[in-house]
Amino acid sequence: QVQLQESGPGLVKPSQTLSLTCTVSGGSISSGPYSWTWVRQPAGKGLEWIGRVYPSGSTNYNPSLKSRISMSLDTSKNQFSLKLSSVTAADTAMYYCARVARQLASAMDVWGQGTTVTVSS
């Protein structure tokens, strides 16, 4: 059973870079019909797709965040990561990592429990 676990600092100062890691257990991030994605949710609000990284390392980002995002894979650690630069209070949210299953119409079929990130000085 594949499981995902987010990790990273819960507090980031404005203008700094937010860095999160998602550790995948129970399956390899570099095999199968899967890619890996990040989604965020401000408190009391809806879900926002951030971006996606493929086993090849290629990426696909939300245009509204594209200039500030970097996503990558670390196959040696079976992890993938998110970096979001120049953060502001608007980036305060719960951040989820998830698996995208190509065979399920690219649905996000496995989710992490989420990690709360607050942007504040």
Partner 1 sequence: QSVLTQPPSASGAPGQRITISCSGSSSNIGGNPVNWYQQLPGMSPKLLIYNSNERPSGIPDRFSASKSGTSASLVISRLQSEDEADYFCETRDNNLNGRLFGTGTKVTVL
Interface residues with partner 1 (CB under 8 A) are 37, 39, 46-49, 51-52, 60-63, 96, 98, 101, 104-109, 111-114
The number of beta carbons lying within 10 Å of the beta carbon of residue 101 is 16
119 forms beta bridges with 12
Residue (28 or 113) nearer to partner 1, CB: 113
Q: Least distance in Å: CB of 90 to partner 1?
A: 17
Measuring CA to CA, how many Å separate 107 from each of 8, 54, 103? 25, 14, 8
Collapsing DSSP to helix, strand or coil, 106 comes out as coil
Residue (18 or 39) nearer to partner 1, CB: 39
Q: Least distance in Å: CB of 66 to partner 1?
A: 9
Residue (16 or 68) nearer to partner 1, CB: 68
Check if the beta carbon of residue 62 is closer than 8 Å to that of residue 48.
yes
Q: Least distance in Å: CB of 14 to partner 1?
A: 26
Q: Least distance in Å: CB of 111 to partner 1?
A: 4
Residue (7 or 62) nearer to partner 1, CB: 62
Alpha-carbon distance of 41 to 112, in angstroms, equals 13
71 forms beta bridges with 82
